[in-house]
Amino acid sequence: MRLILLVFLAGFCLHSIGFAQKTSSIELATKRNCGLEAYISALKQRNPEFEQMQQQAEQAMQEALMKRQEGQQGGQNLRKATTITIPVVFHVIYSTDAENLSDEQLLSQLSILNADFRRKNADAANTPSYFQPFAADTEIEFCLASLDPNGDPTSGVTRTKTNKVSFNYLNDEMKFSSQGGVDAWDRNQYLNIWVCRISDNVLGYASLPGSPASTDGVVVHYATVGAPPFNKVSSNYNRGRTATHEVGHWLGLWHIWGNGNSTCSDSDGVDDTPNQYEENTGCPSGNKVSCDNAPYGDMYQNYMDYTDDACMNLFTNGQATRMQAFLSTSRNSLYSSLACSATLRSDFRTEIVGDTLTLAGKKVQFVSASAGIRPTSYFWEFEGGTPATSTEKDPIVTYPNPGRYNVQLTITNGDLNSTKVKDNYVHVTVNDLTVYPNSSTDFITIEQPARITVRQVQMLNHVGQEVLRAEVRDRVLRVDVRNLSPGIYFLHITSTNGTIVKKVSVVR
């Protein structure tokens, strides 16, 4: 329960540093600090569903964690997830040349993320020996997107010139083109990282899993991006660890001291980080004991503390497990993103809400939903459909006769192609409730149309006695009348449209 409550407290985190406005020299703060409460209350006001969405993401993640633990007890090693490579897009928004960071500087940031998350950081050796056993290779990697949301080539960087001196973080200004920023790319396929000058001297902030799609991602102050020699700002935060910390939040991590006020009674939801009273800043040395964490004290080397870039160097195994669990639940679609690939993948759906049940003779709108490289041609095959084939992107098809039909879509671009087949994908029913034959020796068939659902069929004889009753689970029901005496019967068919009565006869 404590964990769920903390979601509301944690939400988003902001780090602040004293950047002088509109000057080339940057005034350093002596420590990071966090403006999360202001941001959370702003977001709550803006989006009333925010709390519930985050709660659901946390719950799904906890269930995934429990399954993993059960799997481990059963002898399976489920802790290690498949290595994931997350496509990244940097949205650089600048009003001065200094803010328009070079591709090299952005690549430097990407390298830092990869090193830190795979524990290949050069300063891994600075983790004290007593914390080394907890240090994790999270098996999470990052690549610069090579395809944009339309499937066209991209450098993985968007650049937008703005007249704004800085962007307000309380309303996510940098994430909306209508406010001088850049709209998010599909968060199911990309990690959006906005790079700009953030208002109120904030260093960076991130959205936790379960946040609204339009604002999902990480924002970092341009002065924190990458490391020297690419990062030319003299600061304690010029080695790209702000992004490491914020991506940690984006994958569901909280601050190592538990986010709340200075107290020992809150938690970061991770078992192998020491309980910690409050944040550490600057570059501490030796053991800083707080709460009950003697003899080694706070793990102030953790990326989720507030220490200087040069003094943080690890995520723990518990933090890695938590991030992986979010990647297997609410951020799961990133596993199948093709945004860093040179391939394409065919897929499609229909505009029929809920399922693919339709009436004979009715138009069905198909929609291609391919991923990866933008297709240059489409070839559809509609078994039982009119037309039987189509080269349109989103064709309309009619099915004259009831039945279940396969659909197949092949997409191509140059030498590349991909085919998706969905067996029995379209289920075409009769137009009206149909009962046949009127006169039968063995079976009477009842077919129901897509627009209604038959719940029960009852058969009465000519004096009103029930001779047969059936629950209906399929669109087509066959009533066995072989054991009934010859004569007149009445079928009472109860559906979402009410009850109708059909007269039938059994003959021998």
Q: Which residues form the catalytic set?
A: 246
Note whether 120 and 314 are within 8 A (CB). no
Phi, psi of 456 (to 5 degrees): -155, 145
Nearer to Zn ion, 136 or 206 (CB): 206
CB 281 to Zn ion: min, Å: 12
What CA–CA distances, in Å, run from 47 to 44, 66, 148, 251? 5, 30, 28, 21
CB 151 to Zn ion: min, Å: 34
Q: For residue 298, how many C-alpha atoms fall within 13 Å in the half-sphere facing its CB?
A: 28
Nearer to Zn ion, 306 or 366 (CB): 306
Secondary structure (DSSP) of 122-162: GGGGGS-TTTGGGB----EEEEE-SB-TTS-B--SEEEEE-
- Closest to 291 in 3D by CA, of 323, 258, 251, 269: 258
198 binding Zn ion? (CB under 5 A)? no
Q: Which residue is nearest to Zn ion (CB)?
A: 13
Please give the Cα distance from 316 to 259 (Å, whole number): 17
> Which residues fall within 8 angstroms of residue 202, CB to CB, at 6 or more apart?
14, 15, 16, 17, 35, 169, 221
Show the site string, 464-493: x = touches Zn ion by CB under 5 A, - = not.
Answer: ------------------------------
Interface size with Zn ion, residues (CB under 5 A): 1
Show the site string, 9-48: x = touches Zn ion by CB under 5 A, - = not.
Answer: ----x-----------------------------------
Note whether 127 and 313 are within 8 A (CB). yes
Nearer to Zn ion, 218 or 506 (CB): 218
CB 13 to Zn ion: min, Å: 3
Q: Is the dihedral of CA 271, 273, 275, 276 positive or negative?
A: negative
Nearer to Zn ion, 250 or 366 (CB): 250
Binding segment (CB under 5 A) for Zn ion, from list 8-16, 75-83, 285-293, 316-324: 8-16
Q: In 3-state terms, what secondary structure has residue 33?
A: strand
- Strands (E) across 209-347 are located at 218-221, 281-282, 306-307, 344-345
CB 255 to Zn ion: min, Å: 6
Nearer to Zn ion, 87 or 258 (CB): 258
CB 15 to Zn ion: min, Å: 6
CB 39 to Zn ion: min, Å: 11
Nearer to Zn ion, 13 or 101 (CB): 13
Nearer to Zn ion, 13 or 193 (CB): 13
Note whether 249 and 323 are within 8 A (CB). no
CB 376 to Zn ion: min, Å: 44
Q: Which residues bind Zn ion (CB under 5 A)?
A: 13
